[in-house]
């Protein structure tokens, strides 16, 4: 096992705290966690994890210059992910410029880099959901968050100086443990469990698109436990120097199967051993014209790169999440 440190950014957040837990489960404790650790609502995401050091994200680059650590890889999952924040300057600073500095550091020090992109880059899906390297230059994301992620992808693809191994992962609709702090931006599953416990009903958005019935809006829902397994697999390939340089680039990270919000809500009720009771409400006007009605990842590229592990089905993932985490407010 490589004794160099692994840096995980966004480590107090949703997906990255799960990544840290998965590293711990595989016997990796030589972790440097980067984030703003002063946010009390995120404390339980990280405080029980095993790691070497916490570094405040605002001092991260100073810390790198000062300590010059021996790094096995940087897993860059930190980002401003609020799709309802419409000030692009905020997304640009955290999602573009900060990521560029990490990229440049990895290129200079020859450090492998795995970073989080997003399916929000695909906009309304008019160009499909293919993770080739031409599509990003055609895309029109529906919000500043998606735009910032796409701008960084395009910038990375145009760079001559690159990390020796790198991947940008386009996360689709991720759900799973450790998202209690996310408020409005938490998954429909978390909100559904809360609604069920309060009223016995789940309220889903009506469709404002004539091509889709109420509740039949389709998304590629992917369980966070699958994401961290893929990232760990890529990390191991890069560490063992079995990752081929031609495999560097962007990758979709979904299941490859679009499912409806109705299916999602039904699975949530079943995870609580209850009969489904679903009502429909109007979608908020501030997101109505920026809403994705269909997403489905083309997953061929990841399979071609050699990843063979099965993904949780929607029913399996939702059941695990609801039964083992949400129902008793537990963390991963």
Return per-residue pLDDT of the chain as tens, 332 residues.
457 999 999 999 999 999 999 999 999 999 999 999 999 999 999 999 999 999 999 999 999 999 999 999 999 999 887 777 778 888 888 899 999 999 999 999 999 999 999 999 999 899 999 999 999 999 999 889 999 999 999 999 999 999 999 999 999 999 999 999 998 889 999 999 999 999 999 999 999 999 999 999 999 999 999 999 999 999 999 999 999 999 999 999 999 999 999 999 999 999 999 999 999 999 988 888 878 889 999 999 999 999 999 999 999 999 999 999 999 999 99
CA distance 35 to 316: 31
183 to each of 14, 188, 250, 289, how far by Cα in Å?
12, 11, 29, 22
Structure tokens at 128: 């499909």
From the candidates 145, 175, 321, 325, give the one annotated as an active-site residue: 145
From the candidates 182, 203, 290, 301, give the one annotated as an active-site residue: 182
Q: For the beta carbon of residue 121, count every other beta carbon within 10 angstroms.
A: 27
CB 133 within 8 A of CB 118: no
Is residue 312 annotated as a catalytic residue, yes or no? Answer: no
CA distance 163 to 186: 32
CA distance 205 to 192: 12
**CATH architecture of the region 179-218+257-295+318-328:** Alpha-Beta Complex (3.90)
* Long-range contact pairs involving 313-317 (C-beta distance under 8 Å, separation at least 24): 313/255, 314/221, 314/255, 314/257, 314/259, 314/263, 314/264, 314/267, 315/267, 315/270, 316/223, 317/175, 317/176, 317/221, 317/222, 317/223, 317/225, 317/226
Is residue 182 annotated as a catalytic residue, yes or no? Answer: yes
CATH 3.40.50.720 in the chain, residue ranges: 5-174+220-256+298-313
CATH 3.90.25.10 in the chain, residue ranges: 179-218+257-295+318-328
CA distance 299 to 68: 37
**CATH architecture of the region 5-174+220-256+298-313:** 3-Layer(aba) Sandwich (3.40)
Asked whether the whole model's pTM tops 0.85, one would answer yes
């Amino acid at each position: 096992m490589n004794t160099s440190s692994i840096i995980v950014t966004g480590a107090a957040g949703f997906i990255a705290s799960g990544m840290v837990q998965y590293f711990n489960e595989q016997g990796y404790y030589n972790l440097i966690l980067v984030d703003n650790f002063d946010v009390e609502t995120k404390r339980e995401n990280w405080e029980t994890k095993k790691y070497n050091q916490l570094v405040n994200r605002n001092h991260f680059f100073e810390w790198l210059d000062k300590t010059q650590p021996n790094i096995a890889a940087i897993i860059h999952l930190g980002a401003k992910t609020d799709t309802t924040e419409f000030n692009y300057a905020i997304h640009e600073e955290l999602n573009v410029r900060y990521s560029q500095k990490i990229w440049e550091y990895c290129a200079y020090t020859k450090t492998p880099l795995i970073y989080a992109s997003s399916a929000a880059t695909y906009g309304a899906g008019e160009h499909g959901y293919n993770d080739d390297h031409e599509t990003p230059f055609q895309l029109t994301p529906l919000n500043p968050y998606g735009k910032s992620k796409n701008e960084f992808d395009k910038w990375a693809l145009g760079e001559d100086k690159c990390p020796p191994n790198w991947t940008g992962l386009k996360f689709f609709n991720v759900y799973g443990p450790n998202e209690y702090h996310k408020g409005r931006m938490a998954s429909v599953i978390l909100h559904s469990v809360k609604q069920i416990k309060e009223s016995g009903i789940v309220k889903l958005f009506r469709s404002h698109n004539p091509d889709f019935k109420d509740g039949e809006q389709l998304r590629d829902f992917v369980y966070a436990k699958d994401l961290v397994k893929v990232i760990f697999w890529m990390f191991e390939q890069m560490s063992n120097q079995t990752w081929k340089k031609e495999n560097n680039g962007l990758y979709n990270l979904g299941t490859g199967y679009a499912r409806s919000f109705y299916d999602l809500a039904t699975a949530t009720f079943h995870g609580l051993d209850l009969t489904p009771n679903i009502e429909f409400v109007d979608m908020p006007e501030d997101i109505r014209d920026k809403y994705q009605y269909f997403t489905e990842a083309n997953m061929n590229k990841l399979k071609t790169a050699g990843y063979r592990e099965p993904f949780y089905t929607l029913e399996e993932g939702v059941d695990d999440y609801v039964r083992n985490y949400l129902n008793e407010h537990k963390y991963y």
